[in-house]
Chain A
Amino acid sequence: MQTEISRRRFLQGTAALTVVSVSSAAALLIKKEKKHAIAEYGLEKTKWSEHLEEIPTLCEMCVNKCAAIARVEEGVVTKLNPNPLFPKSKNMLCARGNAGIQALYDPDRLKYPLIRVGKRGEGRFKRVTWDEAYEHIKEKMVKILDEEKDNRSTIGFCAGEGMAEHTYASFMKEKIGSSNFVNHSSICLATTIAGYTLTLGGYGQADLENAEYVIMAGANRAEAIVTPDTMDIFKRTRAGGAKLVVIDPRFTNTAAHADTWLPIEVGTDLAFVLALSYVVITEERYNKRFTQENMSDFEAYKKHIIDHHYTPEWAEKITGIKAAEIYKIARDFMAHAPRSIYYQGRRTAWSQQDYQLRRAQAIFTAMGGGIDQKGGIIFGKKLPLGEHAINSPSYDNAKERIEKNKAAVIGASGSWLAWRNTVIDGTAPYPVRAFFAYKQNPMLSVPNTKKTKEMLQKMDLVVVIDTMPSDTVMMADVILPESLYLEREDPVKTFGGAEPSIALRKKVVEAKYDTKPVIEIMRGLGEKLSKPLFEISKKYDEALLEEIAERGEKVVYKEEGYDLAEGYRHSQETINHHQVASVYGEEAWKILREKGVFYPDMDRYFKQKSVNEYQYYPEHKKYYSVIEGDLINEPYHDTCVDTEEIAVLKKDFRTATKKIACALYNLEKKKGVDAMPTWREELYTPTPKGKFKFITGRHAQFTQSGTANNALLLDLLPQNHLWINKHIAEEKGIGLGDSVEVTSSIGTIEITAYPTEKIAENVVFFIHGFGAESSELTLAHHRGANDNLIIEDQYEKTFGSAAMHETIVEIRRV
């Protein structure tokens, strides 16, 4: 590829090497006017200041919640620096974290409440007061709930991940009373969370600080940053103590750090893991003591793997990975065990067989004994917080979720695809007539954008809470603008792991516009809706009427939680204070507010080790092994999933043996889900000759559609491009920067091509999150392509998780 045009010929002369920067190749591709638009945003140099405030907070530019210190000059945030005190983010702030300033001062932000005046989706709104917005919502909801005879589940709601997600979801679920919640889980990590939790008793955390051998399949920690995983592993790759095997049809920045990179046929990872297991079982390389003492039905699993002849030779034909490589990896993995990890992965909404893949990975890791062990998958400890209880009324007429039977196990956060499709295909047992969205942009984030639009068009009321005029916001009837993360205090959060801590997102600056944090929006809505909705319940809810007859209306209203604003009336700061001080005392609360981070003995344990690195806990105080007696445990590291959800999974399905579960017979008996991971040819989508499988993914300078309008990040990554194998591109006459059409069974998009050696011949890829339609997003509008216009709405049938890598596409130069 000869695309370098920069006048700066970096390193030229030191060695005979050609420096070709992907970013400059990308820059070449971007239309000039777009680039110019970014330049106009400009940045100002930070100045020396006598009156500098440094306020600790937590980042919200992605899901990681890294600790930052905001440099504030006269009420203006001029720089965001890493806060070294936080064990999870380990003194770093990535490009997106730095770009929080552009998010805060983005001129396109939602600035005040709006009500739609034109047709839905037309983009015409009028400015209103908060009370007018609430009043509008009230009128619609009263009408809908009256007509639906108080079936609260007629109000669907969704949420993206965030520290205030629970505040919003608890209001909608517990107070309003709807069961129809969908969140990011089923378009993200539902299958891996479920697979590991059902197998090991928890998703855990890969101890990449101490692992010696790591298989990362599909996971791309150099570009899809997860803290502390990203920092931990890449300080140790390239002969730094951790061997890294990357399995991916693309040569990613993670692969660039690998000892071995093996491209795999998309959708065949399960066959790969089963073959690794076959080698280990037939050669008896597993940890005999560990498997005997801690794994249930291991003998049955051995027989299962052997009887199915999951040999490396069998897997080679399916995966495209040479049998010899599979033998070697299996042996090397076990040679390093228990400090060997088959990395769990995160956004695992890939294929129809994804849940069983995660089960097989978990069992494979366990065969080496690397569970609840330093250098393996650990569960760590979580520091408890005081309670903040919400009194939930019970609504007799609220019905079960509409998509309950569309997959074997639909949890409390639903299946986005099954749910949405049920709304529109006429199979719902009752109509869903209103939709609330918080911090999620399903128009871009959920496969098959057309159907999401159709779903929203069916609603009698669409309310969206967000900070930016996303494509979903443009479909709203009522827009409630949320304050940006730097303008609000969020619920205090505890972060589990080997080095647990509590961290706080504190308000850094006053809200610039007429916006509110979620807790205040819930309070406002609650105050507006409580009485009128209670009247509806009184009309239809016989159980309520009996209660009233017995105890009197006033008492029931108060004691049974019908005051919907109750639980949201205190300020977030007051609630946080209670949750921290009630457990750790006033001094801990003071430290947390001052420093942004607290954990017991922080003052003694926290030490600077070098100019860049810190000690959080002394080695012997870290919580590597926490399980005593059994393997079902509570501490749970992940920050992106509702812990209640996991509790539900565990309660229903954990094995009686309390051991690592090789077989889940109950799930098979009750729900027809294979008890042990089994390759199902009928669930595999082969790629026809001349066509491609489409895969999507993340990028280190772009967090899905949430950062699509960020000037600084677009400066680094102006748009997405279609990765296509160079030789295939040549055959098709497609050159760098050429416009190509990508067509699947559901739609067509146009995008510029990036021919490269770094992708398999039958696969094409582009980054998710670009291609906004919203004309209110000056920079994001029509920039790049939206993958969900072409990704089919397939979902796997165990948890209803999206299967985003099952779509076959054709490519045509335009």
Chain B
Amino acid sequence: MARYGMALDYKNCINCKACESACKEQNGILLGADYHRIWVGVREIEGIFPNLSIGSSSFEPSQCQQCDNAPCQEVCPTNATYYDGNGVVRVNPDQCILCTYCMQACPYDARYVDDRTTTVDKCNFCSDTRLIQGETTTACQATCPTKVRIFGDLDDPDSEISKVLRDREYRKLKEHLGTRPKLFYLT
């Protein structure tokens, strides 16, 4: 058993969307839909040409924050949303009744309706597509040209993610909501 998390060296991101496409291929994400599973947020640059503020522009890859205290899990009336043995917030499609409470509850807008499986789906760290096959990386991490993501076991002090989080500063998104996210944005 592990407690999986992900650190994002997001300043390396070039918005090439390799991660999005790898995720779609790996996990069979619906085409024609934006912001399903993972996405790259773009902070539009401030200023007026030619005086643009480079620092104001950034690419922010994101996805489900894999909260230890997940509001989406808390509100799920059927327990379709659950924590698996590795601390990954997962969805059981058989139990989902599409009530969409989870969509309302998620402060990160990380959940979406997959019409084909009639599930309010989300990122699950490729648990059922890669980890189950013995892979140790998620699709988004493995494919990334500039190696933004570090996925690993937070409970293992020797894992790279544990070391990185000890050595580098990071922030978590909307921590004040008490969600205890397991995605760490390295600063």
Chain A residues engaging chain B, CB cutoff 8 angstroms:
1, 6-11, 13-14, 17-24, 27, 35-36, 38-39, 41-49, 52, 78-82, 90-95, 97-99, 101, 222-223, 225, 227, 230-231, 234-235, 238, 240, 251, 253-259, 261-263, 610-613, 700-701, 711-713, 715-716, 725-727, 757-761
Complex: A255 Cα to B14 Cα, angstroms: 10
Residue among A1, A24, A760 with the most chain B CB within 10 A? A24
Does B21 make an interface contact (CB < 8 A)? yes
Whether A93 and B132, one on each chain, are in contact in the complex, defined by CB atoms closer than 8 angstroms, is: no
Complex: A20 Cα to B42 Cα, angstroms: 6
| Selected A-B contacts with CB under 8 Å, 10 pairs | A14-B173, A18-B43, A19-B44, A21-B39, A23-B34, A42-B31, A47-B129, A235-B146, A612-B149, A758-B49
Q: A79-B25, A98-B25 are in contact. Are A92 and B17 (CB under 8 A)?
A: no
* Interface members, chain B 38-78 (any A CB < 8 Å): 39-45, 47-50, 52, 54, 57-60, 62
Whether A98 and B22, one on each chain, are in contact in the complex, defined by CB atoms closer than 8 angstroms, is: yes
The minimal Cβ–Cβ distance linking A4 to chain B, given in whole angstroms, is: 9
B62 touches which of A10, A91, A610 (Cβ 8 Å): A10
A230 touches which of B14, B108, B109 (Cβ 8 Å): B14
Complex: A180 Cα to B18 Cα, angstroms: 39
B49 touches which of A21, A43, A761 (Cβ 8 Å): A761
Chain B residues engaging chain A, CB cutoff 8 angstroms:
11-12, 14-18, 20-22, 24-35, 39-45, 47-50, 52, 54, 57-60, 62, 107-110, 128-129, 132-133, 136-137, 139, 141-147, 149-152, 160-161, 171, 173-174
Whether B17 and A701, one on each chain, are in contact in the complex, defined by CB atoms closer than 8 angstroms, is: yes
A256 touches which of B22, B26, B58, B171 (Cβ 8 Å): B58
- Residues of the A chain whose Cβ atoms lie less than 8 Å from the Cβ of B50: 262-263, 760
- Nearest-neighbor residue (CB-CB) of B147 within chain A: A612
- Nearest-neighbor residue (CB-CB) of B110 within chain A: A8
Whether B143 and A263, one on each chain, are in contact in the complex, defined by CB atoms closer than 8 angstroms, is: no
A-B residue pairs, 5 tightest by C-beta: A39-B32, A45-B28, A8-B109, A222-B14, A700-B16
Complex: A1 Cα to B139 Cα, angstroms: 33
Residue among A43, A44, A760 with the most chain B CB within 10 A? A43
Whether B32 and A715, one on each chain, are in contact in the complex, defined by CB atoms closer than 8 angstroms, is: yes
Complex: A738 Cα to B66 Cα, angstroms: 40
- Residues of the B chain whose Cβ atoms lie less than 8 Å from the Cβ of A727: 48-49
- Residues of the A chain whose Cβ atoms lie less than 8 Å from the Cβ of B108: 10
Q: A45-B129, A261-B54, A610-B160 are in contact. Are A19 and B41 (CB under 8 A)?
A: yes
- Nearest-neighbor residue (CB-CB) of B47 within chain A: A757
Whether B173 and A39, one on each chain, are in contact in the complex, defined by CB atoms closer than 8 angstroms, is: no
- Residues of the B chain whose Cβ atoms lie less than 8 Å from the Cβ of A251: 45, 49, 52, 57
Whether A225 and B15, one on each chain, are in contact in the complex, defined by CB atoms closer than 8 angstroms, is: no
Whether A23 and B44, one on each chain, are in contact in the complex, defined by CB atoms closer than 8 angstroms, is: no
Whether B152 and A92, one on each chain, are in contact in the complex, defined by CB atoms closer than 8 angstroms, is: no
Whether B31 and A95, one on each chain, are in contact in the complex, defined by CB atoms closer than 8 angstroms, is: no
Complex: A256 Cα to B145 Cα, angstroms: 16
- Residues of the A chain whose Cβ atoms lie less than 8 Å from the Cβ of B109: 6-10
- Residues of the B chain whose Cβ atoms lie less than 8 Å from the Cβ of A80: 25
Q: A44-B28, A95-B16 are in contact. Are A611 and B144 (CB under 8 A)?
A: no
Complex: A715 Cα to B33 Cα, angstroms: 8
The minimal Cβ–Cβ distance linking B45 to chain A, given in whole angstroms, is: 6
- Nearest-neighbor residue (CB-CB) of B151 within chain A: A611
- Residues of the B chain whose Cβ atoms lie less than 8 Å from the Cβ of A79: 25-26, 139
* Chain A interface, >50% SS class: loop
- Residues of the A chain whose Cβ atoms lie less than 8 Å from the Cβ of B52: 251, 261, 757-758
- Residues of the B chain whose Cβ atoms lie less than 8 Å from the Cβ of A254: 14
- Residues of the A chain whose Cβ atoms lie less than 8 Å from the Cβ of B132: 48
The minimal Cβ–Cβ distance linking A412 to chain B, given in whole angstroms, is: 34
Whether B49 and A263, one on each chain, are in contact in the complex, defined by CB atoms closer than 8 angstroms, is: yes
Q: A6-B34, A235-B12, A712-B24 are in contact. Are A21 and B107 (CB under 8 A)?
A: no
Tally A-B pairs: CB < 8 A.
227
Whether B18 and A97, one on each chain, are in contact in the complex, defined by CB atoms closer than 8 angstroms, is: yes
- Residues of the B chain whose Cβ atoms lie less than 8 Å from the Cβ of A93: 18, 22, 143
Whether A238 and B11, one on each chain, are in contact in the complex, defined by CB atoms closer than 8 angstroms, is: yes
Whether A10 and B151, one on each chain, are in contact in the complex, defined by CB atoms closer than 8 angstroms, is: no
- Residues of the B chain whose Cβ atoms lie less than 8 Å from the Cβ of A99: 21, 25
The minimal Cβ–Cβ distance linking B63 to chain A, given in whole angstroms, is: 10
Whether B129 and A94, one on each chain, are in contact in the complex, defined by CB atoms closer than 8 angstroms, is: no
Whether A257 and B21, one on each chain, are in contact in the complex, defined by CB atoms closer than 8 angstroms, is: no
Whether B41 and A21, one on each chain, are in contact in the complex, defined by CB atoms closer than 8 angstroms, is: yes
Residue among B145, B146, B171 with the most chain A CB within 10 A? B145
Q: A6-B35, A39-B32, A257-B14 are in contact. Are A759 and B145 (CB under 8 A)?
A: no
Whether B31 and A94, one on each chain, are in contact in the complex, defined by CB atoms closer than 8 angstroms, is: no
Whether B14 and A253, one on each chain, are in contact in the complex, defined by CB atoms closer than 8 angstroms, is: yes
- Nearest-neighbor residue (CB-CB) of A81 within chain B: B142
- Residues of the B chain whose Cβ atoms lie less than 8 Å from the Cβ of A20: 42-44
Whether A24 and B22, one on each chain, are in contact in the complex, defined by CB atoms closer than 8 angstroms, is: no
- Nearest-neighbor residue (CB-CB) of A5 within chain B: B34
Q: A23-B34, A45-B27 are in contact. Are A94 and B160 (CB under 8 A)?
A: no
Whether B18 and A98, one on each chain, are in contact in the complex, defined by CB atoms closer than 8 angstroms, is: yes
- Nearest-neighbor residue (CB-CB) of A9 within chain B: B109
The minimal Cβ–Cβ distance linking A232 to chain B, given in whole angstroms, is: 9
Whether B34 and A24, one on each chain, are in contact in the complex, defined by CB atoms closer than 8 angstroms, is: yes
Whether A256 and B49, one on each chain, are in contact in the complex, defined by CB atoms closer than 8 angstroms, is: no
With contacts A46-B129, A92-B18 known, what are 11 further pairs, Cβ within 8 A? A6-B109, A10-B41, A11-B41, A19-B41, A95-B16, A95-B17, A231-B147, A238-B11, A251-B45, A611-B141, A712-B25
Complex: A39 Cα to B36 Cα, angstroms: 13
- Residues of the A chain whose Cβ atoms lie less than 8 Å from the Cβ of B143: 81-82, 92-94, 97-98
- Nearest-neighbor residue (CB-CB) of A255 within chain B: B54
Complex: A255 Cα to B57 Cα, angstroms: 10
Whether A46 and B42, one on each chain, are in contact in the complex, defined by CB atoms closer than 8 angstroms, is: no
- Residues of the A chain whose Cβ atoms lie less than 8 Å from the Cβ of B33: 39
Whether A757 and B49, one on each chain, are in contact in the complex, defined by CB atoms closer than 8 angstroms, is: yes
Complex: A94 Cα to B45 Cα, angstroms: 24
Complex: A257 Cα to B45 Cα, angstroms: 12
Complex: A270 Cα to B29 Cα, angstroms: 47
Complex: A697 Cα to B66 Cα, angstroms: 38
B43 touches which of A19, A95, A253 (Cβ 8 Å): A19
The minimal Cβ–Cβ distance linking A712 to chain B, given in whole angstroms, is: 6
Whether B17 and A700, one on each chain, are in contact in the complex, defined by CB atoms closer than 8 angstroms, is: yes
- Nearest-neighbor residue (CB-CB) of B27 within chain A: A45
A21 touches which of B42, B139, B146, B147 (Cβ 8 Å): B42
Complex: A9 Cα to B109 Cα, angstroms: 7
